[in-house]
Amino acid sequence: MDSLEKYSNDLQKLVLNQYGELIRACTDEYSASGMRQIRKSVDFLIEQSLPEQVQLGRHIILLALKRAEMMVRELGMDALGISAVLIIDVVEQNDVSYDQIKAKLGERTGQIIKELLKISDLDTTTNNSQAENMRNLILTMATDFRVILIKIAERLFLMRMMGKLEEKEQIALTCDAKFIYSPLAHRLGLYNVMSEMEDISMSLLEKDAYQELDAKLKASTKERDRFIKEFIKPIEDALQKERLKVEIKGRPKAISSIWRKMKQQKVEFEEVYDKFALRIIIDTPLKREKADCWRVYSVITDYYQPNPERLRDWISAPKSNGYESLHTTVVIPGGEWVEIQIRTARMNEIAEKGLAAHWKYKGIKGQAGIDQWIGKVREALDSRDSDASNLIEDLKLSQFSKEIFVFTPNGDLKKFPEKATVLDFAFDIHTDVGSTCVGARVNGKNVPIRYTLRNGDKVEILRSKNQKPKIDWQNIVVTSKAKGKIKLALKEEKRKESENGKEFLMRRFRNWKINFNDTSIRRVIQHFKYRDSIDLYFDVATEKVDLLEIKEFLSTEKKPLEQKSGKIEEEAVEKLVIHAKQESSDFLVIDDKLANIDYKLGKCCNPIHGDAIFGFVTISAGITIHRKNCPNAQQLLSRYAYRVVKARWNQAEKTSSFPVTLQVTGIDDLGIVSNISDVISKDLQVNMRSISIDSRDGMFEGSITLFVKDTQHLEALIRKLKRVKGIMNIRRTS
């Protein structure tokens, strides 16, 4: 402690006294190596602190030593945790580096400090609706659960010094404790910590109600003490005859607990039947614990009538957080109810200190024991076990490894399954937000809709009025909510397209001099094997059906002598198929030398040289060439397999150019259109038919139609475009 010389004599005396208290608390708890770790941490604390560093009216060293002592005595924290507790404030305030911590105190202490600082950076200001998500986020970020205990202890320590804080700080601290740290303390079996936090919170947030209940409890203190003495007298005598060594304590229930019951049961203070509880603590060997607890229960019920519905056996089946006790509620003369808790000294210490007491009773000191305890902490936090009598909600952490938590721009927390994307986030906000999403700004950086969200991300959705839901979006999202909304959006989009297709078909019918009515549409649906009229109109709007085929079919239907038009059509098509195969030895070779067979390139997929293709025979329009991955391919191959002929491109030198449309998205940047145009026109000398770029909220999306010689030419162009700064995604649409 040579570094103490830089401090005043008075402060040196105070530090040495407080240090002595800490060492006395640690001596019976830690091994020799643990004590060395504590001393090194105290030296580091003194070395890094400054004489002027005073908080809450006390020097930072004194606060750190006092808080560490509290954690040893009340929470049973191990040496590694106390090492971090001692230095966390000085590290945070004086920008001490991780390397310094690691060199002096070891890597594990450094890792705990890292996680504590990460959680301290979170904005935990929240309300009850968001509290569970915030708790889950904190637990997800803490890989070492000493971190959680330290944060709980830190809050309780500050709450005990509430009077030294400003009102604004008091309210923020109280809300933190009420919504986040008190439920965590409950889950870890720290019932005393939980009750104290809730009482302090209530004394600030519901001051009048707290003071009224406190006054009523104090007013009945003498009467309660007399009552307890009379109540336990026969039980004490009977237990002595049974040769059981017990300690009986009576205590009023926490004011916050009584207040909750009054509100939930809608009763007055006088009507709460278990305002205080008796605790019977048995000094007995481990092997006799269960039997002796039930012996005490038997003695009590010999004198007082129990309520069977209020019996709680947590001895045979302890709670997931390690709590063991036998609870019963009995009625006394006069009709008043009293809760009695029966437990052993070992069980009582576990109830007081939570899971931290487990390792101590196994006779294990040091790191091995605390690591076993940490394992039990994780089991408790992951458990789905819930205590129906407890009024604080469970944390529901069983899906922890499969969930992530992210912030909205307003600071609200959203929970998603692992691998959720920006698009999941957008649809979670609103269907319109999802449908027009073109990307997001995550932690200040622009990302595409496929970006996988990570814990703690702050997400702001970027939108474009020209964006529409796409079928492949269903492969991007993982939440059922997003999948369902995308399906509905696609269905709505299909309905709108169908309306356009219907109007277009009506105009065509007028040109063909054919009546547009239910009869003619039903014939078309049945002949082309559509499910309903919406599917037909949609295919018309998206050019997935050949309108000349519809005209041929309806015109043929009108001729009275051709009752077997379907057979005649099939025969005509068969002749064309045979002719096409004879011309090309079973392969329709597409080039300028093809003779006697009319063909055209399908507008639905715009095949280019190098694409895998097939030919589809029509009666009046010759053969239409489609790509094998054309949106219509599956329908054509399944419905009209007899019309399909094989086709391939001529391997001779390519001189023709083919139109291709590319969909481009990315980050908007100055000169992005010029950069794209330069690559297309100058670098690769490709002709463009059109380019359309729409920009919004820092993102752009555009459509480019250009002419290429073949697929290799196209691939080279796409590779070149992807190198343009800002471009995130390029997709061929046709």
pLDDT tier for residue 136 given thresholds of 50, 70 and 90: low
pLDDT of residue 293: 94
Together in a domain, 347 and 420: no
pLDDT for residue 368: 45
DSSP run (H or E) holding 193: helix 191-205
How confident is the model at residue 42, as a pLDDT?
Answer: 92
Strand partners, 549: none
Read off the tokens for 279: 């605790």
Nearest to 327 by CA among 285, 386, 393, 278: 278
The residue that leads in pLDDT, 172 or 109, is: 109
Q: Which of 29-43, 114-128, 454-468 has the lowest mean pLDDT?
A: 114-128
Give the number of other CB atoms < 10 A from CB of residue 445.
9
Q: Are 476 and 439 in contact (CB under 8 A)?
A: no
Cα distances from 601 to residues 424, 504, 555, 605, in angstroms, run 38, 22, 25, 8
Residues 140 and 223 in one domain: no
The answer to whether residue 307 sits within a structural domain is: yes
Domain end marker among 207, 223, 245 = 207
Better-scored residue on pLDDT, 323 or 563: 323
Can you give the CATH number for the domain in which 690 is found? 3.30.70.260
Q: Is residue 487 part of a domain?
A: no
The band of 369, judged by pLDDT with boundaries at 50, 70 and 90, is very low
Rounded Cα–Cα distance for residues 660 and 648 (Å): 19
Residue 734 tokens, joined: 């046709």
Q: Which amino acid is at 55?
A: Q
pLDDT of residue 561: 38
- Looking at every residue in the chain, the average pLDDT score rounds to 78
Q: How confident is the model at residue 621 (pLDDT cuts 50, 70, 90)?
A: low
Whether residues 160 and 90 fall in one domain: yes
pLDDT at 87: 92
Alpha carbon distance 76, 356 (integer Å): 5
Q: Is 87 exposed, middle or buried (0-12, 13-18, 19+ CB in 10 A)?
A: buried
Residue 397 clears pLDDT 60, i.e. is over it: no
Query: 723 and 602, same structural domain?
Result: no
Residues 577 and 696 reside in one and the same domain = no
443: region left, alpha or beta (phi > 0 left; psi from -120 to 50 alpha): left
Task: Tell me the C-alpha distance between 720 and 731, whole Å.
Answer: 14
pLDDT, tens digit (0-9, with 9 covering 90-100), for 255-303:
888 888 888 878 787 777 667 778 899 999 989 999 999 999 999 998 8
Q: Which of 443, 478, 513 is the last residue of a domain?
A: 478
- 498-539 pLDDT per residue, tens: 888 888 888 888 888 888 888 888 888 888 878 788 888 888
Q: Are 132 and 124 in contact (CB under 8 A)?
A: no
Task: Provide the pLDDT for residue 683.
Answer: 65
Do 256 and 139 share a structural domain?
no
Q: Is 152 contained in some domain?
A: yes
| Residues 455 and 425 reside in one and the same domain | yes
Instruction: Identify the DSSP state of 694.
Output: E
Q: Phi, psi (5° rounding) for residue 315?
A: -95, -50
Average pLDDT over residues 21-28: 88
With H, G, I as helix, E, B as strand and everything else as coil, classify residue 469.
Answer: coil
CA–CA gap between residue 135 and residue 394 (Å, rounded): 11
Higher per-residue confidence, 495 vs 578:
495
Burial of 558 (0-12, 13-18, 19+ CB in 10 A): exposed
Q: Return the closest-CA partner of residue 548 out of 503, 600, 588, 597.
A: 600
Q: What is the CA radius of gyration of the chain?
A: 39
**625/705 same-domain check:** no
Q: How many of the other CB atoms lie within 10 Å of CB of 384?
A: 11
Distance from C-alpha of 354 to C-alpha of 193, rounded to nearest angstrom: 10
Band (pLDDT 50/70/90 cuts) for residue 308 is: confident
Which of 89-93, 110-114, 550-554 is least confident? 550-554
Helix (H, G, I), strand (E, B) or coil at 374: helix
pLDDT for 391 equals: 25
Residues 113, 81: Cα–Cα separation, whole Å: 10
Sort 633 into a burial class: Cβ within 10 Å, 0-12 / 13-18 / 19+: buried
Q: The tokens of 107 are what?
A: 């890597």
Say if CB 703 and CB 732 are below 8 A apart: no
| Statement: residue 440 has pLDDT above 80 | yes
The sheet carrying 437-442 orders its strands as 445-447, 437-442, 459-463
Q: Over 50: is that where the pLDDT of 449 sits? A: yes
What is the reported pLDDT for 560?
A: 45
Lowest mean pLDDT among 342-346, 419-423, 617-621: 617-621
CATH number of residue 90's parent domain: 1.10.3210.10
Q: What is the pLDDT of residues 326-347, one digit of tens each?
A: 999 888 766 677 889 999 988 8
- Select from 634, 654, 674 the last residue of a domain: 654
User: Hey, what's the torsion of the CAs at 367, 372, 377, 378, to 10 degrees?
Assistant: 110
Please give the Cα distance from 142 to 117 (Å, whole number): 11
**Number of domains, the chain:** 5
733: helix, coil or strand? Answer: coil
Nearest to 568 by CA among 551, 583, 552: 552
Instruction: Inform me whether the pLDDT recorded for 62 exceeds 90.
Output: yes
- Cβ distance 571 to 594 under 8 Å? no
Shared-domain flag, residues 665 and 635: no
| Alpha carbon distance 109, 99 (integer Å) | 11
| Beta strands at 699-708 and 688-696: parallel, antiparallel or unpaired | antiparallel
Question: Would residue 310 count as lying in a domain?
Answer: yes
pLDDT interval class at 590 (50, 70, 90):
low
Residue 318: which of 310, 306, 326 has the closest Cα? 326
**Do 650 and 663 sit in the same domain of this protein?**
no
Predicted confidence band at 426 (pLDDT cuts at 50, 70, 90)? very high
Q: Is 524 domain-assigned?
A: no
- Parent domain of 30: 2-207
* pLDDT of residue 367 exceeding 70: no
Would you say residue 241 has pLDDT above 50? yes
316 found inside a domain: yes
Pair (605, 713) in one structural domain: no
- Taking only the tens place, the pLDDT of each residue in 719-733 is 888 888 778 888 887
Task: Give residue 14's Cα distance to chain centre.
Answer: 47
Residue 364 belongs to some domain of the structure = no
Q: Which residue has the higher pLDDT, 373 or 693?
A: 693
Cβ atoms 480, 486 nearer than 8 A: no
Q: How far apart are CA 705 and CA 718, in angstroms?
A: 13
Q: Residue 170: its pLDDT value, please?
A: 86
Q: Shortest CA distance to 149 belongs to which of 138, 159, 160?
A: 138
Length of the chain: 734
Q: Can you give the CATH number for the domain in which 429 is found?
A: 3.10.20.30
- Check whether 321 has a pLDDT greater than 70: no
The pTM of this model reads: 0.49
- Is 122 a member of any domain? yes
Q: Are residues 272 and 330 in the same domain?
A: yes
Highest-pLDDT range among 35-44, 412-421, 696-705? 35-44
